[in-house]
């Protein structure tokens, strides 16, 4: 069955539309993560959609490891939390097959619109604009077998509340699998450009430790504490390392473009004028040029693969 989202199961549904097996609902403009909704809809989302090929290539090894940890089976019902443009949603849909379903949930209307286009002809995939911290995602009478995320669960204002809500959307005994970044210092793809960008602004470019942002879950003990506090059991957190490529083989300019669209670049863009931003991009270009490998800028990347059960 492909689940729908009548108002009773999607509190923020203000008029969804259905097409070819997919549906999208719009969310209200209030809520505890409204800042993230605005950021991912108006600032980062459009860039992410435009550079989807680059972000997908960059994240492919990490998403693959998380999907392997999920090990979705034919017939299963899975939630893809913070699904973005649906790359992993579609991979899960392939794994669960026609007797299963996947719901991609994201707080960004920009991301969900792109996801919906990518999945237009898939009968076992649905999408919902939802705050995973507060909104019902799975149908009330049909909880999911598992929840999954590729880098979509580090942005909650209240992570314990969010993982409690995610658990409420998963059946008893169901499972959780996600991938999140280790510390910024273990991820030179962002720490190197960020260190350069910092010389162009006195303002912070990344949120402080543990605040919502790409590195909010860098500390595995915090992740464990959040998940157990939210009622998840048998929490396993494994390190995983793989090359992180930027520019998707399209050369240095593409890598710089992608780098300037990650979180520090998005922050810098708001803090400085265009000329200063251009000078920062030039300095980043020079640093990234030393890491070119086969048409792409390549760094080692380090993440946590996290699994748990309800
Ligand atoms: C780094 S992107 C990852 C997107 C996608 N999972 C991928 O790997 O391509 C993070 C995603 O999490 C979403 N997100 C952030 N906070 C959220 C929330 N509270 N509820 C649902 N989605 C959220 C963002 O809109 C964004 O699409």
Q: What is the C-alpha separation between 28 and 18, in angstroms, rounded?
A: 19
pLDDT of 90-108, one tens digit each? 999 999 999 999 999 999 9
pLDDT band at 26 (very low <50, low <70, confident <90, very high): very low
Q: Is 260 in the pocket of ligand 1 (CB under 6 A)?
A: no
Distance 59 CA to ligand 1 centre (A): 13
Cα Rg for the chain, rounded, in angstroms? Answer: 19
Residue among 8, 20, 11 at smallest CA distance from 126: 20
Q: Is 262 in the pocket of ligand 1 (CB under 6 A)?
A: no
Distance 195 CA to ligand 1 centre (A): 25
Query: Residue 111 domain-assigned?
Result: yes
pLDDT of 33-82, one tens digit each? 999 999 999 988 998 999 899 899 999 999 999 999 999 999 999 999 99
Q: Is 105 in the pocket of ligand 1 (CB under 6 A)?
A: yes
Q: What is the C-alpha separation between 305 and 177, in angstroms, rounded?
A: 7
Q: Is 104 in the pocket of ligand 1 (CB under 6 A)?
A: no
Distance 153 CA to ligand 1 centre (A): 7
Distance 136 CA to ligand 1 centre (A): 16
Q: Locate the ligand 1 atom nearest the alpha carbon of residue 83 and give its number.
A: 6
**What's the pLDDT score for residue 296?**
78
With contact defined as beta carbons under 8 Å apart, do 179 and 151 qualify?
A: yes
Query: Residue 252 domain-assigned?
Result: no
Domain of 80, CATH number, reads 3.40.50.150
Q: Is 304 in the pocket of ligand 1 (CB under 6 A)?
A: no
Q: What is the C-alpha separation between 277 and 201, in angstroms, rounded?
A: 10
Query: Residue 78 domain-assigned?
Result: yes
Query: Residue 17 domain-assigned?
Result: no
What's the whole-number mean pLDDT along residues 269-292?
Answer: 94
What's the whole-number mean pLDDT along residues 286-310?
Answer: 92
Query: Residue 251 domain-assigned?
Result: no
Q: Is 150 in the pocket of ligand 1 (CB under 6 A)?
A: yes
Q: What is the C-alpha separation between 128 and 111, in angstroms, rounded?
A: 10
Q: Is 131 in the pocket of ligand 1 (CB under 6 A)?
A: yes
Query: Residue 34 domain-assigned?
Result: yes
Question: Is the pLDDT score of 255 beyond 80?
Answer: yes
What's the whole-number mean pLDDT along residues 102-124?
Answer: 95
Domain span including residue 234: 22-185+206-243+302-309
Query: Residue 10 domain-assigned?
Result: no
What pTM value is reported for the model?
A: 0.89
What domain count does the chain have?
1
Q: Is 51 in the pocket of ligand 1 (CB under 6 A)?
A: no
Distance 290 CA to ligand 1 centre (A): 31
**What's the pLDDT score for residue 29?**
65
Distance 79 CA to ligand 1 centre (A): 13
Q: Is 39 in the pocket of ligand 1 (CB under 6 A)?
A: no
Query: Residue 248 domain-assigned?
Result: no
């Amino acid at each position: 069955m492909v689940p729908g989202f009548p108002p009773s199961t999607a509190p923020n549904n203000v008029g969804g539309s259905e097409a070819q097996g997919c549906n999208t609902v719009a969310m209200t403009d209030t809520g505890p993560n409204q800042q993230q909704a605005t950021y991912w809809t108006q600032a980062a989302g459009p860039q992410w959609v435009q550079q989807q090929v680059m972000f997908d290539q960059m994240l492919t090894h990490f998403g693959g490891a998380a999907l392997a940890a999920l090990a979705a089976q034919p017939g299963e019902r899975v939630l893809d939390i913070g699904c973005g443009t649906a790359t992993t949603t579609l991979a899960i849909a392939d794994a669960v097959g026609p007797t299963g379903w996947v719901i991609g949930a994201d707080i960004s209307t920009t991301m969900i619109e792109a996801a919906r286009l990518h999945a237009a002809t898939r009968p076992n995939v649905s999408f919902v604009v939802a705050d995973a911290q507060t909104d019902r995602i799975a149908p009330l009478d049909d909880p999911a077998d598992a929840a999954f995320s590729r880098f979509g669960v580090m942005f909650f204002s209240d992570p314990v509340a969010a993982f409690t809500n995610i658990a409420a959307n998963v059946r008893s005994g169901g499972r959780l699998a996600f991938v999140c970044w280790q510390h910024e210092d273990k991820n030179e793809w962002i720490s190197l450009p960020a260190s350069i960008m910092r010389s162009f602004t006195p303002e912070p470019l990344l949120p402080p430790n543990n605040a919502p942002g790409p590195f909010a879950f860098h500390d595995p003990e915090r992740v464990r504490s959040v998940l157990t506090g939210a009622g998840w059991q048998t929490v396993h957190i494994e390190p995983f390392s793989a090359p992180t490529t930027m520019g998707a083989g399209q050369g240095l300019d593409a890598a710089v473009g992608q780098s300037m669209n990650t979180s520090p670049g998005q922050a810098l863009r708001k803090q400085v004028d265009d000329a200063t931003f251009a000078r920062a991009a030039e300095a980043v270009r020079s640093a990234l040029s030393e890491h070119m490998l086969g048409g792409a800028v390549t760094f080692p990347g380090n993440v946590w693969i996290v699994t748990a059960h309800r």
